Structure 1
Amino acid sequence: MSTDPTPQRPRLALFDLDHTLLPLDSDYEWGEFTIRLGWCERGEFGRRNQAFYDDYVAGRLDVHDYVRFATEAVCQRGQQAAEAAHAQFMREVIQPAIRPEALDLLARHRAAGDELVIITATNEFVTRPIARALGVEQLLAVELARGANGWYSGAIHGVPSMREGKVQRMDAWLAARGLAWQDVDSTFYSDSFNDVPLLERVTRPVATNPDARLRALATERGWPILELFAPKAP
């Protein structure tokens, strides 16, 4: 009697967002956008925004301090004004930055039957509309706590999806579906050395538009390097 072949493992395609699927940092750009709106003062806010970004690149960011800083204007302005501003941000900043190369990469994985997940250290207020614009339903972002008024309080809810936290969030995501890492065939695309813990966990790590430290590590370990936003030849 013949037996059925071993079922194929579920396939996951995981993507960082900023500088991976987008050629910009959406968190930083949202801060710059709020300055242009007049919600924040250019000098001090701009200086602190740049300092936090530099800390992230260097791998020393205190994510709780940063989220309190980055969401202060959103918390103060309230839901209606914040959501209207974000819709403008999408039109003026994000939509023009969505590149066909990123959409094609997502489409290839979707056509192969992979489940797509964006996992990002940027907060859910900034990133959920971006994930929708990219056609990705599953988003693991920094979750924001809500206060007594039902709107964001400036604190983080749960484990922030940053560095080792991305692995923890994916562990929980898999467990909620009755899965573990050995049960899935996984690919992860990221530009950042901060994402090494998750890159080391997946079946296929892909250094995508990598920063200098990740490029060096990927070269040393023989990981594929994808220049998704490389200039087109003339």
Structure 2
Amino acid sequence: MSLAIFDLDNTLLSIDSDHAWGEFLLEQGAVDPEAYKEANDRFLADYEAGTLDIHAFLEVALKPLTEHSPEQLAAWHQQFMASKIEPHILPKGEELVARHRSRGDTLLIVTATNRFITGPIAERLGVDELIAVEPERLGERYTGRVSGTPSYREGKVKRLEAWLADRDLTLDDSWCYSDSHNDLPLLERVDHPVAVDPDPTLRKEAERRGWKIISLRD
């Protein structure tokens, strides 16, 4: 049995779900319309450039979770799934997940987006295992802090290693699919790295290393 690791944003989805959640909050009037939009767009640009300060980003991104009740957040997320996520689930991405499932592979999404946003998306995609940024909670309320290591760049590898150790699994004959050069540390660890509709930096690196390059958007 192999492990099939999937990035989520711009890999199985045609959008960045973290940025889309920020846009959704703006539409709901749940955040400051000018300051939050500027920060949301700036952090996305930083991520794409590989210069994101993950802790500065999470300080802004997790704050809205502290300002609303669990019931309100759950209701918003249902709307978010219907309006922002469902139209951007890539059918070829679902087919790819299904192929690995039919082979008996263990399916795992590893994402730098937080679990509040991505937990229901992973469930929708039929992927039981998820490594994501873990927003800290006290009881039912979010604190705005992060629990443990953020699953971003080298943090994805650290979190994956802990996940494997807990389950007595290895990366033998493992696969990893991602669009982003930010995932190079993760892609380097598996036997079968696959660049999916890669950004220019990842495409160049994949070509140099002879990695497989595919598109789920054709």
1:73 aligns with 2:61: no
Residue 34 of structure 1 is matched in structure 2 by: 25
- Structure 1 residues 203-222: Cα deviation after superposition (integer angstroms, max 9, x where no partner): 11000110010000001111
Runs of 4+ in 1 over 6 A off after TM superposition: none
Residue 64 of structure 1 is matched in structure 2 by: 55
Unmatched segments (≥5 aa) in structure 2 = none
CA distance in 2: counterparts of 1:211 and 1:48, whole angstroms: 22
Residue 5 of structure 1 is matched in structure 2 by: none
1:163 aligns with 2:153: yes
Kindly tell me the number of residue pairs found equivalent between the two proteins. 218
TM-score normalised to the size of structure 1? 0.90
Residue 107 of structure 1 is matched in structure 2 by: 98
Residue 3 of structure 1 is matched in structure 2 by: none
Note the 1:1-234 alignment, pairs <5 A. Answer: 10-147=1-138, 149-181=139-171, 184-230=172-218
Q: Which amino acid aligns with 2:217?
A: F
| Alpha-carbon contact 1:64-1:155 (below 8 Å) kept | no
| Alpha-carbon contact 2:173-2:191 (below 8 Å) kept | yes
Q: Which amino acid aligns with 2:176?
A: F
Q: Secondary structure of 1:143's match?
A: strand
| Alpha-carbon contact 1:193-1:214 (below 8 Å) kept | yes
Q: Which has the larger radius of gyration?
A: 1
- Structure 1 residues 185-230: Cα deviation after superposition (integer angstroms, max 9, x where no partner): 2000000000000100001100011001000000111100011112
Kindly, what percent of the aligned residue pairs are identical?
49
What's the offset of the Cα at 1:102? 0.9
Q: Which amino acid aligns with 2:91?
A: P
Q: Secondary structure of 1:42's match?
A: coil
CA distance in 2: counterparts of 1:39 and 1:100, whole angstroms: 31
CA distance in 2: counterparts of 1:99 and 1:55, whole angstroms: 25
Q: Secondary structure of 1:206's match?
A: strand
TM-score normalised to the size of structure 2? 0.97
| Alpha-carbon contact 2:62-2:135 (below 8 Å) kept | no
Alignment RMSD (CA, Å): 1.0
